[in-house]
Amino acid sequence: MLCSKIRVFLLKPLVAVSCLLVACGKNEQTNYKIPKEEIQFTVPSIQASSPGGEMAKGKVPVATDSDLPDWNPPSHWVAGKTSNIRKGSFSYQENSGSKLEVSVTVFPGDVGGLLANINRWAGQISLPPYTESDLKNITVTKTVHSTLATIVRLNNPSQQKSIIAAIFKNNGNSWFVKASGDQSAIFSQNTSIQSFIDSIQFN
């Protein structure tokens, strides 16, 4: 009698533990609060390679706000919204309605190289892709406050769209200053765009 009572006494918690264990370990959605994080990009990371190439592991510095260059936009440009990628944003509209947008973006590494980026922009204004040998016709390099900049000019007369862009390399990052929009707005703002590019100064 005593033995059977002890058996039942032993069996119950063992069955309960077994059931509990079977119920455990399910992958379910969770939510929780955490303190605000300062994001560190410190772990082994990727670097953009040439177009079509696989992103390789490496260590690429990522721009922080302290890397932000100084610039001086024309007063008639309207400042727009910025983000962690888009560090500067401006727009301008002429009385005729034609408009342009200027963006300052930063990416780690070379983001696929000069040709890949130019072809990406060319695609945005419906131009066919360029080859390496075309680069000398559409780019010039100049030094802006001790930093080498590659200036790119793209124009698609049939679509009435243009792009003027400058690429700066600083501290392992590529900074893109790109003015894109209607051809007439780009042409009328050519001097302002050039001045803005010339005002970019990395510390």
Partner 1 sequence: MKKILKLFSSLRLTVTLLSLSMVVIFFGTLDQVEYGIHHTQKRYFESYFVIWQYPEQWIYSNILGFVAIPMPGGHLLGYLLLINLLTAHLSRFKLTAKKLGINVLHAGLILLVISEFMTDYLAIESQMSVNEGGSSNYTFSITEKEMVLIDHSDPDSDTVYSVPSDQLKKDKSLNINGTPFQINTHEYYENSKLSIAPPNAPSMRIPITAGWGENMNLRVAEKDYDYSDNASNISSAIVTIASGTQPLGTWVLSNIINNQLPTQKFEHEGKEYSIALRFTRYYLPYKIELIDFTHDKYPGTEIPRNFSSKIRVQNESQNDEDREVLIYMNNPLRYEGLTFYQQSFDNDETTSIFQVVKNPSWWMPYLSVSMVGLGLLIQFLYHFTKFIKKSAKS
Report the interface residues with partner 1, using CB under 8 A: 2-3, 6-7, 10-11, 14, 17-18, 21, 24-25, 27-37, 39-46, 48-55, 57, 59-60, 62, 83-85, 105, 107-108, 111-112, 115-116, 119-120, 129
Angle value at C-alpha 202, between 198 and 203, nearest 5 degrees: 140
CA neighbor of 71 nearest in space, from 182, 183, 149: 149
Of the pair 21, 136, the CB lying nearest partner 1 is at 21
Closest distance between partner 1 and the C-beta of residue 18, in Å?
7
Of the pair 120, 142, the CB lying nearest partner 1 is at 120
Q: Is beta strand 173-182 parallel, antiparallel or unpaired with respect to 147-156?
A: unpaired
Closest distance between partner 1 and the C-beta of residue 128, in Å?
9
Instruction: Please give the Cα distance from 107 to 48 (Å, whole number).
Output: 9
Of the pair 88, 144, the CB lying nearest partner 1 is at 88
Of the pair 17, 142, the CB lying nearest partner 1 is at 17
Of the pair 2, 76, the CB lying nearest partner 1 is at 2
Q: Return the structure tokens found at 106.
A: 């930063």
CA neighbor of 124 nearest in space, from 191, 176, 81: 176
Closest distance between partner 1 and the C-beta of residue 146, in Å?
26
CA neighbor of 164 nearest in space, from 125, 113, 203, 115: 125
Number of other residues whose CB lies within 10 A of the CB of residue 181: 23
**DSSP code for 86:** E
Closest distance between partner 1 and the C-beta of residue 90, in Å?
18
Closest distance between partner 1 and the C-beta of residue 53, in Å?
6
The CA R_g of the chain, rounded to the nearest whole Å, is 28
